[in-house]
């Protein structure tokens, strides 16, 4: 989940989400953005290269187009062109996460990050999702993250709320209550 994306970058991605929804290309765009974000994360020097002032916009676009493949959707090509021309390539590090989060907002789905020390079973995920949907009164999309630091139980980040039902969280609450 991305919490620290620039507002201007988010504005660009919101426009892309809207265009993808209107053209029924949501999944196709999501797949390309996920590939692009993976590439940017795998090659950290790429963002530095793309922000170099002496590299022409056409060269930056060529690099990006190579990164996502020649069979890219027109929406993605136009989006990348706009980012490069407006100097917003910094958003590339988070573009897929932003896209998915904003698309979930459009659909009224809240995303929940569930941190556990060991993987949850499918039935545990289903029960947790149902419980969270009751709490928020709408759809919830779960993202599971294995975190050995969470001792016994789980920690859920749901929007701006954190529900900590881990042993570590309970001990911390007890420590604050008595101290």
CATH code (residue 127)? 3.40.30
Domain that holds residue 86: 7-104
Instruction: Give how far Cα 17 sits from Cα of 5, 87, 119, 120, Å.
Output: 16, 20, 31, 31
Question: Does the residue 1 lie in any domain?
Answer: no
49, 73, 104 — which closes off a domain?
Answer: 104
Domain count, the chain: 2
Nearest CA-CA partner of 27 in 90, 61, 75, 93 = 75
Average pLDDT estimate for 32-57: 89
147-171 pLDDT, tens per residue?
988 888 889 998 788 888 888 777 7
Distance CA 6, CA 114 (A): 25
Average pLDDT estimate for 29-47: 88
Percentage of the chain lying above the pLDDT 90 cut = 34
| Residue of 179 and 144 predicted with greater confidence | 144
Question: Does the residue 85 lie in any domain?
Answer: yes
85-112 pLDDT, tens per residue?
998 888 888 888 889 888 888 888 888 9
Question: Does the residue 39 lie in any domain?
Answer: yes
Instruction: Give how far Cα 77 sits from Cα of 70, 89, 128, 129, Å.
Output: 10, 13, 39, 36
**Residue 164, SS3?**
strand
Distance CA 108, CA 31 (A): 21
Question: Does the residue 2 lie in any domain?
Answer: no
């Amino acid at each position: 989940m991305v919490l620290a994306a620039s507002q201007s970058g988010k504005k660009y991605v919101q426009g892309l989400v809207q265009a993808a929804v209107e053209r029924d290309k949501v999944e196709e765009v999501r797949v390309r953005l996920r590939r692009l974000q993976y590439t940017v994360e795998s090659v950290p020097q790429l963002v530095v290269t793309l922000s170099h002032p002496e590299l022409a916009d056409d060269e930056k676009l060529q690099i990006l187009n190579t990164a996502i493949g020649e069979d890219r959707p027109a929406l993605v090509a136009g989006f990348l062109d706009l980012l490069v021309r407006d100097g917003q390539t910094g958003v590339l590090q988070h573009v897929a996460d932003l896209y998915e989060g904003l698309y979930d907002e459009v659909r009224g789905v809240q995303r929940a990050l569930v941190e556990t020390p060991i993987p949850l079973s499918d039935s545990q995920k289903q029960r947790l999702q149902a419980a969270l949907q009751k709490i928020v009164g709408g759809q919830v999309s779960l993202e599971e993250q294995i975190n050995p630091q969470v001792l016994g139980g789980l920690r859920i980040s749901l929007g701006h709320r954190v529900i900590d039902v881990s042993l570590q969280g309970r001990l911390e609450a007890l420590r604050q209550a008595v101290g």
